Chains A and B, each alone.
Chain A
Amino acid sequence: MLLGLPAHLAPQVVGDSVSRACHAIAATVLAAAAVLLLVKQAVTPDLLLWPALVSLVPLLVLLVVVERARSTTAHLAYLIVGSAATYWYAVTLFSQVAAVQASDAFSLSLPKIALVMVGSTAVGPRRGLLWAAAGYLAGELATQVATRQTGASLRLDVTTLVAFAVVAVVTGHTAASRGRARRAQARVHRAALEQQRQRIRLDIEQQAAALVHDTVLGHLAAVSATGPGPLPAVIAAAVAGDLEVLVGRDWLTPRDPPPSETAAVLDAWQASTLHAEVDRSRSSGLDLTITGDTSSVARLEPCVAEALGLAVGQCLANVRRHSGVDRAELVVFGDGSDLTVMVIDDGVGFDPASVAPDRLGLAGSVEGRLARVGGHVQVWSAPGSGTSILLRVPVTRPSGDAVVPAGDPRVTAADPADPADGSTMRVDGPAAGDGVAA
Chain B
Amino acid sequence: MKGGPFASGRSRSLENSAQRVDPLGALAARPVTVAAAVTAWLMAFVSTLVRSSDVSSLGAAVAALAAVAAGGVVLVVASGPLRAPVPRTATWALVVCCSAAAVASGFSTAGSNPFVRDDWAGLASGVLILGLAPYRAAREIVLGGSVVGVVISVVALVEAPGFVTPVPAATYVVVAVTPLVALTAASAAFARVFVDHAEAWVVRASGSRHDRVDELRLGLARSVQQDRVTGLNREVVPLFARLVESGRVEAGDADEARRIADSLRASLVADADGSWLASRFRAVDRRVETDVVDPDRLADRLGDEHRTALWALVDAVDDPTVVDVRSMRVRLDDQEARVAVTIQLAVGSSASAARRSLMPYLTVLRLVSGDLRVDRSPSLLTLRFSYDQH
Confirm or deny: B224 has a beta carbon within 8 angstroms of a beta carbon on chain A: yes
Contacts A13-B198, A220-B261 given; indicate if A187 touches B297 (C-beta within 8 A): no
B32 in the interface, Cβ–Cβ < 8 Å? yes
The smallest beta-carbon distance between A238 and chain B, in angstroms, is: 10
Mark out the residues of chain B between 76 and 131 whose CB falls within 8 Å of any chain A CB in the assembled complex: 117, 127
Q: Residue B240 contacts which of A27, A226, A243 (CB distance < 8 angstroms)? A: A243
A99 & B182 in contact (Cβ 8 Å cutoff): no
User: A224 near B261 (CB under 8 angstroms)?
Assistant: yes
* A-side contacts of B336, CB under 8 Å: none
B187 at interface by CB-CB < 8 Å: yes
Q: Does A197 reach chain B (CB closer than 8 Å)?
A: yes
Please state if A184 and B271 are interface contacts (CB–CB under 8 Å).
no
B260 on the interface (CB 8 Å rule)? yes
Which of B32, B35, B189, B257 has its CB near the most chain A CB atoms (within 10 A)?
A: B189
Q: Given A169-B35, A179-B28, are A17 and B193 also a contact pair (CB < 8 Å)?
A: yes
User: Would you call A81 an interface residue if the criterion is a C-beta within 8 Å of the partner chain's C-beta atoms?
Assistant: no
Nearest CB in chain A: distance from B269 CB, A: 5
Q: Is A270 an interface residue (CB 8 A)?
A: no
- Kindly supply a per-residue 1/0 record for chain A positions 222-237, scoring 1 wherever the CB is within 8 Å of any chain B CB and 0 otherwise: 0111111111000010
Binds A, one of B152-160, B210-218, B342-350, B379-387: B210-218
Q: For A64, list chain B residues within 8 Å (CB).
A: none
B284 within 8 A of A: no
A75-124 at interface with B (beta carbon < 8 Å): 99, 106, 110, 113
B244 at interface, CB cutoff 8 A: yes
| A36, A166, A201, A220 — most chain B CB neighbours (10 Å) | A220
Query: Complex: how many Å from CA A358 to CA B273?
Result: 9
B33 CB → nearest A CB, Å: 11
Known contacts A17-B190, A228-B249; is A181 also within 8 Å of B24 by CB? yes
Q: Does A9 contact B (CB under 8 A)?
A: yes
**Are the CB atoms of B311 and A32 closer together than 8 Å?**
no
Q: Which of B301-355 contact A (CB under 8 A)?
A: 301, 304-305, 307-309, 311-312, 315-316
Known: A43-B167, A192-B308. A202 touches B279 (CB 8 A): yes
Say whether B247 faces chain A, with CB atoms less than 8 Å apart.
Answer: yes
In the complex, whether A205 has a CB less than 8 A from a CB of chain B is yes
Please indicate the chain A residues that have their CB under 8 angstroms from the CB of B185 in the complex: 21, 24-25, 27-28
Q: Mark A163-174, 1 if CB is under 8 A from B, else 0.
A: 000100110010
Residues of B within 8 A of A182 (CB): 24, 28
Which residues of the partner chain A approach B312 to less than 8 Å between Cβ atoms? 184, 187-188, 190-191
Closest to B189 in A: A24
The segment from A322-330, A344-352, A401-409, A414-422 that touches chain B is A401-409
Q: Decide: A224 near B224, CB < 8 A? Known: A22-B186, A25-B183, A194-B311.
A: no
- State whether B22 touches A39 (Cβ < 8 A): no
Q: Whole-angstrom distance from the CB of A249 to the nearest CB of chain B?
A: 10
Contact residues, B265-310 vs A (CB, 8 A): 265, 268-269, 271-272, 276, 279-280, 296-298, 300-301, 304-305, 307-309
By a CB distance below 8 angstroms, the chain A residues around B232 are: 212, 216, 246
Cα distance A224–B268 in the bound complex, in angstroms = 19
Cβ-neighbour of B268 out of A195, A197, A230, A360 (below 8 A): A360
Interface size class of B (residues with CB under 8 A): 35 or more
Q: Is A247 an interface residue (CB 8 A)?
A: yes
Known: A188-B309, A229-B249, A364-B272. A250 touches B264 (CB 8 A): no
Residues of A contacting B186 in the complex (Cβ-Cβ under 8 angstroms): 21-22, 24-25
A5 lies within 8 A of B201 (CB): yes
Q: How large is the interface on A (under 10, 10 to 19, 20 to 34, 35 or more residues)?
A: 35 or more
CA distance A321 to B150 in the complex (A): 80
Shortest Cβ distance from residue B124 to the other chain A in the assembled complex, whole angstroms = 12
Taking CB as reference atom, which chain B residue is nearest A38?
Answer: B170
Looking at the complex, which one of A25, A43, A209, A251 makes contact with B182 (CB distance below 8 Å)? A25
A23 closest partner in B (C-beta) = B189
A240 within 8 A of B: yes
Is A331 on the interface with B (CB-CB < 8 A)?
no
Give the nearest-CB partner of B179 in chain A: A159
Q: Which residues of B contact A253 (CB under 8 A)?
A: 217-218, 221-222
How far apart sit A37 and B260, CA to CA, in the bound complex (Å)?
A: 94
Q: Which residue of A5, A205, A220, A247 contacts B224 across the interface (Cβ within 8 Å)? A: A205
In the complex, what's the smallest C-beta–C-beta distance from A435 to chain B, in angstroms? 11
Taking the complex as formed, is B248 at the interface, i.e. its CB lies under 8 A from any CB of chain A? Answer: yes
Q: Which one of B52-60, B62-70, B360-368, B369-377 contacts A? A: B360-368
- Kindly provide the distance from the CB of B370 to the nearest chain A CB, expressed in whole angstroms: 14
Which A residue sits closest to B126, measured CB to CB? A25
Q: A21-B187, A22-B186, A177-B28 given as contacts; is B257 within 8 A of A220 (CB)?
A: yes
Distance, CA A132 to CA B91, complexed state (A) = 30
Residue of B nearest to A253 (CB): B221
Instruction: Please tell me if the beta carbons of A195 and B272 are within 8 angstroms of each other in the complex.
Output: no
Known A204-B221, A226-B249: A3·B271 in contact at CB below 8 Å: no
Choose among A5, A198, A202, A228 the residue that contacts B198 (Cβ–Cβ < 8 A): A5
Question: B79 to nearest A CB, angstroms?
Answer: 13
| A196 / chain B contacts, CB cutoff of 8 Å | 213, 216, 304
- B213-A200 in contact (CB<8A): yes
Check if B251 sits within 8 Å of A228, measured CB to CB: yes
The answer, yes or no, to whether A355 is at the interface (CB within 8 Å) is no
Given contacts A43-B167, A188-B309, A198-B280, contact A205 B271 (CB under 8 A): yes
Interface check A16, CB cutoff 8 A: yes
B244 touches A239 (CB 8 A): yes
Contact indicator A99/B279 (Cβ below 8 Å): no
Q: A222 to chain B: closest CB distance in Å?
A: 8
Residues on the A chain within 8 Å of B127, using CB = 166
Do the beta carbons of A106 and B117 come within 8 Å of each other? yes
Are B24 and A17 within 8 A (Cβ)?
no
Are B247 and A230 in contact, with the CB atoms below 8 A? yes
* Contact present for A198 and B244 (CB under 8 Å): no
- Contact partner of B300 (CB less than 8 A), chosen from A24, A194, A205, A408, is A408
Assess whether A252 is in contact with B221, with CB atoms less than 8 Å apart: yes
- 19 more A-B residue pairs beyond the given contacts A182-B28, A408-B298, A408-B301, with a C-beta to C-beta distance below 8 A: A1-B305, A1-B307, A5-B198, A9-B201, A24-B189, A32-B174, A43-B168, A106-B175, A166-B39, A188-B312, A190-B312, A191-B308, A208-B228, A209-B271, A220-B236, A224-B255, A230-B248, A240-B240, A405-B301
21 residue pairs A–B, Cβ–Cβ below 8 Å: A20-B190, A32-B174, A99-B165, A166-B127, A180-B360, A182-B24, A188-B360, A188-B361, A192-B308, A198-B280, A204-B217, A223-B253, A224-B255, A224-B261, A228-B250, A239-B243, A358-B269, A402-B213, A408-B297, A408-B298, A436-B261
| Residues of A that sit less than 8 Å from B by CB | 1-6, 9-10, 13-14, 16-18, 20-25, 27-29, 32, 35-36, 39-40, 43, 99, 106, 110, 113, 162, 166, 169-170, 173, 177-185, 187-188, 190-192, 194-202, 204-206, 208-209, 212-213, 216-217, 219-221, 223-231, 236, 239-240, 242-243, 246-247, 250-253, 358, 360, 363-364, 401-402, 405-408, 436-437
